[in-house]
A and B are shown apart, each in its own frame.
Chain A
Amino acid sequence: MSEMLILGGHLIDPAQGIDGPRDLLVRDGRIAAVEVSGGPAAVARSLPKELQIDAAGLVVAPGLVDIHVHLREPGQTWKETIRTGTAAAAAGGFTTVVAMPNTTPVNDSVETLAWMLAAERGAAVKLLAMPAATLGSMGREITDFRRLVEAGAVGFTDDGKPVLEDDVMRAALVAAAELGVPVSQHAEDTTLTGGCSMNAGRVAFRLGLRGMPAEAESRIVERDIRLLREIERTNGVRPHLHVQHVSTAKALAAIRAAKAEGLHVTCEAAPHHFTLTEDAVGDYCTNAKMNPPLRAESDRLAVVEALLDGTVDCIATDHAPHASHEKEVEFERAPNGITGLETALGLALRVLHRERGMPLARVMALMSAQPAEVIGLRERGTLQLGSYADVVIFDAGAEWNYAARESRSRSKNTPFDGAALLGRVRATICEGRVVYRG
C-alpha cells in the first residue's frame, strides 16, 4: 500500500463543485479521501513527512487533460518522443494526453496503436491516442474503428488534414457513433488553402504570402454539421463531431447554432488562438506558423467569447514540436505547428482568468473535466473518491516568464519564449506518482 497526503491546498474540482480548502489522501494511485483542511480522518493518519505534500497557498486540481498533442513517435523522433513529450506534459500540469495519428507510419492500425501505448515507450503521464479516421489519413477508406476502439482508441481523426469527402466523413461519423467515440475533425477546406501559409487578409497581403480564408474552416464545420443532422435523421444513431482548434468567428457561430439545435458537437480552442493574432508573424516568424493559422483580432476575440460563453468545450494545445533546422527556413517552406504543453495553463490563467475574469474553476474545467468528457474518459479529470490520483498543484498567482531553452520537449518551437505567464506548476501527480516537481 502506498499513500500520499496533499495538505492545506485550495482544492478546485469542477466535477464535484468543490472550490475551497481541502486535504487530499491518495492511496495506491487513487483518491482515497477528500476532506476539509484539518479534518479528522486524513490528518489523523499523520503520514511520515516524506509522504506529505504541503500545498498551503497553492491550488490543488485535477491533472490537466490535453486531447490534442503530437508526440511524433513512431518515426519522427528527432522532433519529439513519447518520453520527452509526456515529460513536457507533466511540466505543464497535464496528466493525460491524447496523441494524434500523423506519425510515421500513420497510426491507422492496431499494431501501431499498441506500440504507441506500450509501457516501453516510457510515457510520464497517461497516454491515450486517436488513430487515423482513414487508412494512411488519405481520406478515402475508414480504418477498422471497432478493433481500434477495443485496443484503446478514444476517437478518430486525420488531424493535419481534413476528411474532405462527404461519403467518407459520413461513414466515419456513423461508425464512431456506433462505438460511442467522437470523430475529431481538422476543419480545413483544402481546395481554398493551396499554397497558403498564414491567415488571409491585410497582413498576408503586405507580406506577400498567400492567405487561408476563414471560410476554409467554417465551410467544413458547416458541412460536418449538415452530415450530423442527416445521420441522426436517417441512421438512427447520434454521432459526435469534435471540431479541433477552432480559430474563426464564422466556425464558432456554426458550432453555437448546432449546439442550440441539439446536435452532438463539441470543440476545442488552442491557447495560441486566444492569445495571439496574425500580427505575431512579424518578420516571417516561423514559430507563429501553424494550421489553422493565427487569425485577425476579431477572430481571437470571438474565440475568447466562445470560451467564456461555453461554446468551446475545452482547451487543447495542438502541441506540435519541430526541430529548429526544420523551422529555420523560408516561411512558406516551414512546417506548421508550435509546442504548447508547458505554456497552456499559464496563458489560460493570464488571458481568461486575470484579463477576462473567468473564474478559476471554469478555467480548470476547460482543461480537465470537460476535455475528459469529450473523449468519454472516466475516473480522470476529477478528484472524486476512487478516481485516479491525477493531480496538478500550482501557484495560481505566480508570474513568470517562459524560457523555451528549459523546455522538457525535444523541440523549442514556441512563439512564447520569454512570454509572461500566470500560474506556475509546483507538482504534477499521475496515478499517485509525482511526475514533475517545479
Chain B
Amino acid sequence: MSKPAASDASPYECGSLLTVEHLSVADVAEILATTARLERMAAAERARVLVGRTIALLFYESSTRTRTSFELAAKSLGATTTLVSDKSSSIEKGESLKDTGLTLRALGAEAIVLRHAASGAPFLLARATGLPVLNAGDGMHQHPSQALLDLRTILTRLELGGGTSQVSESRPGAPGSEAVHAKTLGGVTVVIAGDILHSRVARSNAMLLPRVGARVVLCGPEELLPEEALGLGAGIEGAGSLEIERDFDRALRRADVVMMLRIQRERLAGVALDLTEYCARYQLTGERLAAAGPQLLVMHPGPMIRGLEITDDAADGPQSAIEEQVAHGLAVRRALLVRALGVRV
C-alpha cells in the first residue's frame, strides 16, 4: 500500500480552477472559446451575463494585475463583487481561512477568487466551502489564470488557433476560430527564464503549454532551477515536452517566445545569489533580443523589475507582448468567472 484511502468523487466544485493539472485540453479549448465569445459580445449584453450573482475576491497577498482584472472582469459581466484582504478584515484577528470562506459563503458569495501566500490554500478553501474557487495565485504553486492568458497571448501573436477571434464564426478556416488541441503549439518553443523555483507562473505554464503541443525550455541557474523541475512534465498528455537549458543565449536561439520572471526576493529564504552575475547570464537585453531575431515574442507576467531580469528596450520594444498579456488577463478571467458559476454563453 502506498496511498491512503480516498473517495473517488472529486471534493471540488466543478467550476473551480485550482491548478492547470485539473484542466483537460478540451477544458482549455472551452475556456478560450468562451473568452472569445464574451469578447465579441456587445458591452451591454455582456453586462447581463452574471447579473444578480455575487463573487468574493479574497486576497491574502498584494496584487495589482490579477486583483484588478478579476474585479473588472466580474463587474463587466454585471456581477456584484466584494473584496476582502488580509489587511482590513478579521483575518488580522486570527480568523482561519476556512472560517473566512464560510463567512463569505453565508454572506451570499457564489464563488471565491483566492490569492494566498501558502501553496495549496485554494484546495483547503474549496474543500471547506464547497464553492467554486478560482486560484488567483497560491504561494509557489500555481497561477492557472495567468497560464491561460499567456497561452491566449501566444496564440494571438503567433496567429494560431484559439486566440483572439477578430473574425466571424462564418469563416471557419480563419486564424482564431479553430479550437485548441494537443498539437496547436506544435513546433513552438517557449523559453521560461529566471526564478523558476519560486514561480507559480512558471509551474503553471510548464504544465499547461506542453499539453497543447509546445516545447517548453526552462532556463536559469541551479539555485533557482533545480533538476526536480522536470517532474512538472510527468504525466503530461499532449504532444509537447519540457526540458532544462542553463545557457540563456543558447535557449534564446531556439525560442519563439521568451517569458521572463522576476527574482522573488520575498521568497528567496537563504538562497545566496550574485545579482551582477545573474544579470550577466540571464538578463533579457536589447542585444540578446537582437541576436535572437525579430520573431521572438517577449512576455512577462509582471511585476517587472526593470534593470534586473529585463531592460527597458526589451520590455518596451515592438517584440514585447507584456501589455497585451494584461488585456488578455481581463478577457480570460471573464470566461473563468462564467465557468465558475456554471453559466453558458
Contact = CB atoms under 8 A, between A and B. Distances in A.
A208 B124 contact: no
Interface residues of A, number: 42
Interface string B183-206: 000000000000001001001000
A208 B4 contact: no
Interface in A174-218: 194-195, 200-210
Contact of B203 (A195, A208, A333): A208
Nearest to B269: A195
Nearest to B7: A418
Interface stretch (A45-53, A122-130, A324-332, A378-386): A324-332
B103 to A, nearest CB: 15
B118 A330 contact: yes
A331 B3 contact: no
B208 to A, nearest CB: 13
A419 B4 contact: yes
A203 B121 CA distance: 17
B138 interface: yes
Contacts of B308: none
Interface stretch (B228-236, B312-320, B332-340): B228-236
A276 interface: yes
B5 A418 contact: yes
Interface string A110-141: 00000000000000000000000000000000
A277 interface: yes
B252 to A, nearest CB: 24
A279 interface: yes
B97 interface: yes
Contact of B98 (A285, A297, A329, A332): A329
A180 B118 CA distance: 46
B119 A331 contact: yes
Given A194-B270, A282-B6, A332-B119, A206 B1 contact: no
Nearest to B229: A205
Contact of A276 (B3, B96, B269): B3
B307 interface: no
B57 to A, nearest CB: 18
B228 A201 contact: yes
A210 B120 CA distance: 12
Nearest to B140: A208
A140 to B, nearest CB: 23
Interface string A328-340: 1111110000000
Interface string B1-27: 111111000000000001000000000
Contact of B119 (A209, A277, A415): A209
A171 interface: no
A351 B1 contact: yes
Nearest to A402: B5
B282 to A, nearest CB: 20
Nearest to A277: B2
Interface string A354-393: 0000000000000000000000000000000000000000
Contacts of B120: 207-209, 283-284, 330-332
Given A202-B231, A203-B231, A205-B231, A417 B4 contact: yes
A280 interface: yes
The CB with the most chain B CB atoms within 10 A, among A206, A328, A417, is that of: A206
Contacts of A322: none
A206 B2 CA distance: 19
A329 B4 contact: no
Interface string B104-134: 0000000000001011110110001000000
B139 interface: yes
Contact of A208 (B6, B18, B139, B270): B139
B5 A208 contact: no
Nearest to A192: B270
Contacts of A210: 269
B141 interface: yes
B4 A415 contact: yes
Contacts of A194: 269-270
A419 to B, nearest CB: 5
A61 interface: no
B342 interface: no
A364 B139 CA distance: 45
Contacts of A328: 96, 98, 124, 128
A284 B232 contact: no
A297 B118 CA distance: 26
Interface of A: 194-195, 200-210, 275-277, 279-280, 282-285, 287-288, 297, 300, 325, 328-333, 350-351, 401, 415-420
23 contacts: A195-B269, A201-B231, A202-B231, A205-B228, A206-B231, A207-B119, A207-B141, A208-B120, A209-B120, A209-B141, A279-B3, A280-B3, A283-B18, A285-B4, A287-B4, A300-B2, A328-B96, A332-B119, A351-B1, A415-B4, A416-B5, A418-B5, A420-B5
Interface of B: 1-6, 18, 96-98, 116, 118-121, 123-124, 128, 138-142, 197, 200, 203, 226, 228-232, 234, 269-270
Given A297-B2, A328-B98, 12 more contacts: A202-B230, A205-B228, A205-B229, A208-B141, A210-B269, A279-B2, A284-B119, A328-B96, A330-B118, A331-B120, A415-B4, A417-B5
